[in-house]
């Protein structure tokens, strides 16, 4: 009887140790509840719609600390973000998004085609040097959800 109790105690202790180790590993490797989303914008007529979607997304999750958002722009839509011709509402939204940590990526190929430099875009933009579609694929490979409103 004494042996049985000792064996049971040893098995119980081993189980508790393994359980604690598994719980610790699960806690350390727990995925973030913070969603990562990339918005794709190429249509000039959808600029305000997409910017509104991004603001609604930020508001809907309780603020910019609860979501990671990137906006990748290429094609005709990029013209709306040229500093010289951007309307004040777009300029204001881009400034707020930049402060909120939204990545604003301009397609390098489109920048060349439109003969515009990063300095000529609204403040806060980065260049997707290898192209907007490449940047979209990179972000998706890192777990970003793809949205194209």
The 10s digit of each residue's pLDDT in 55-107 is 999 999 999 999 999 999 999 999 999 999 999 999 999 999 999 999 999 99
Q: Does an H or E element contain 48, and which?
A: helix 47-60
The confidence score (pLDDT) of residue 50 equals 98
Pairing state between β 103-107 and 145-147: unpaired
Share above pLDDT 70 across residues of the chain, in percent, rounded to a whole number: 79
- Strands 67-73 and 103-107, by their bridges, are parallel
Which whole number is the average pLDDT over 102-118?
A: 97
pLDDT of 12 reads: 52
Distance CA 42, CA 60 (A): 24
Give the mean model confidence (pLDDT) for residues 135-144.
97
Distance from first CA to last CA of the chain, Å, rounded? 71
What pLDDT score was predicted for residue 17?
A: 45
Please say if the pLDDT value at position 142 is more than 90: yes
> What pLDDT is attached to residue 33?
77
The closest alpha carbon to 58, from 98, 23, 109, 105, belongs to 98
**Mean pLDDT within 134-139:** 98
pLDDT of residue 9: 54
Give the pLDDT of residue 2. Answer: 59
Q: Find tokens 């603001």 and name the residue.
A: 55
Strand stretches in the chain, DSSP E:
35-41, 67-73, 103-107, 125-128, 145-147
- pLDDT computed for residue 11 by the predictor: 45
For residue range 43-67, what is the model confidence (pLDDT) as tens digits? 999 999 999 999 999 999 999 999 9
């Amino acid at each position: 009887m004494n042996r049985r109790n000792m064996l049971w105690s040893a098995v119980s202790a081993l189980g508790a140790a393994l359980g604690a180790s598994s719980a610790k590993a699960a806690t350390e490797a727990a995925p973030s509840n913070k969603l990562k989303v990339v918005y794709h914008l190429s249509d000039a007529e959808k600029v305000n719609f997409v910017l509104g979607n991004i603001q609604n997304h930020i508001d809907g999750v309780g603020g910019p600390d609860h979501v990671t958002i990137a906006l990748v722009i290429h094609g005709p839509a990029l013209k709306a973000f040229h500093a010289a011709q951007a309307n004040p509402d777009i300029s204001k939204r881009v400034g707020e998004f930049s402060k909120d940590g939204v990545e604003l990526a301009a397609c390098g190929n489109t920048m060349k085609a439109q003969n515009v430099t990063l300095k000529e875009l609204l403040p806060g933009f980065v260049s997707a040097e290898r192209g907007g579609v490449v940047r979209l694929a990179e972000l998706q490979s890192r777990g970003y959800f793809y949205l194209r409103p």
